[in-house]
Amino acid sequence: MQHTMKLQPSPFERIVSGQKTVELRLYDEKRRQIRSGDTIRFIKTTPPYETVLTRVLSVEVFPDFTALYAALPLTDCGYTQEELSAASPQDMNAYYSAEQQRQYGVVGIRIAVLHEGASSVL
């Protein structure tokens, strides 16, 4: 099954470069459909609107981002070595509230880029 997700430019570019191999999301109804072997097409949210196709390697579910940050290597989640000292589960509060995390849980989706580079959306 193929899924589609939008991404801000920085995490999008980190996926394309291979630096970010785990996408962090709320484990809502849409993400509960994702299985190992599926593909995800990420779409950059700003011009030029590019896409990158990835394969799902694994899906790891956690009760909240605090548990996820404790279990997964943050460099796989898109943080650089320089950013690690300031990395915090609260960084994800900009996207998902504590209430949403309690309601759905969160997920780390381990991915691999299928095609090098990004392609433009026509």
Q: How far is CA 84 from CA 71, 80, 102, in A?
A: 14, 6, 25
Residue 107 has pLDDT above 80, yes or no: yes
Query: For the domain that residue 73 is a member of, what is the CATH number?
Result: 2.30.130.30
Q: How many domains does the chain have?
A: 1
The domain in which residue 42 lies consists of 2-120
User: What is the predicted pLDDT for the residue at 86?
Assistant: 94
Q: pLDDT band for 116, please (50, 70, 90 cuts).
A: low
**Is 106 a residue whose pLDDT tops 70?**
yes
Q: What is the pTM of this model?
A: 0.92
6-42: per-residue pLDDT in tens?
A: 999 999 999 999 999 999 999 999 999 999 999 999 9
CA of 76: how far to CAs of 35, 36, 84, 88, 117, in Å?
19, 17, 11, 14, 18
Helix (H) or strand (E) holding 12: helix 9-17
